[in-house]
Amino acid sequence: MARYDVPKAAPEPLAIVQRFVNTTDVENEREWLSTPDELAAWLREAGLELDAAPGEADLARAHELREALRALLEANNGRPLSPDAVSTFNAAAATARLSPELDQWGAVRLEPYAHGVDASLGRIVAVALGAMLDGSWSRLKACRNCRWAFHDYSRNRSASWCSMLLCGGRHKTRAYRRRLKARQA
């Protein structure tokens, strides 16, 4: 499982979506879910139950969902919404057979009726859907520079980078150097 500090960690239950998206470091080409066993370990560590060991097809579906979620988070940060990401997300919800349930306190939640990895991925999708419905989804974003998922705690929801010191600083330095080079030309 990925080991990292998350200075802009999302609150629970949305944190599971952030942790899932961050199981790969796109910028440094690091993958923490490269085998079905690593996927099983991550799901167990995330508190998601498995009734069967995942296979290669489950791993491929998990990777597809993770990248679809990343694309949805990039849309929260100003990029165009990807129709492929929407299709993949909807397919994961359908495969998980999500269904609304009313609990004893009158709260509604989505429950997956699939089994195995599809149920576990369905729980992640259910959290995302819940956040979309309650308005907290727009605060979870993918960094414009490194594509790492972060929670936007700014008052006006305008954060663009996972870290102003790292990615924001890199972006501003590159822009400064481009302006300087253009002036010198």
pLDDT in tens, the chain (185 residues): 444 556 689 999 999 999 999 999 988 899 999 999 999 999 999 999 899 999 999 999 999 999 999 999 999 999 999 999 999 999 999 999 999 999 899 989 999 999 999 999 999 999 999 999 999 999 999 998 889 999 999 888 878 767 655 675 565 666 657 777 778 87
CATH number at residue 122: 1.10.3300.10
User: What is the separation of C-alpha 92 from the centre of its chain, rounded to a whole number of angstroms?
Assistant: 14
- The answer to whether residue 178 is domain-embedded is yes
148 is in which domain, residue-wise?
15-184
- The answer to whether residue 3 is domain-embedded is no
User: What integer pLDDT is reported at residue 1 of this predicted model?
Assistant: 46
Q: How many domains does the chain have?
A: 1
**Buried/exposed code over 82-120 (b: 16+ C-beta within 10 A; e: otherwise):** beebeebbeebbebbebeeeeeeeeeeebebebebbbbb
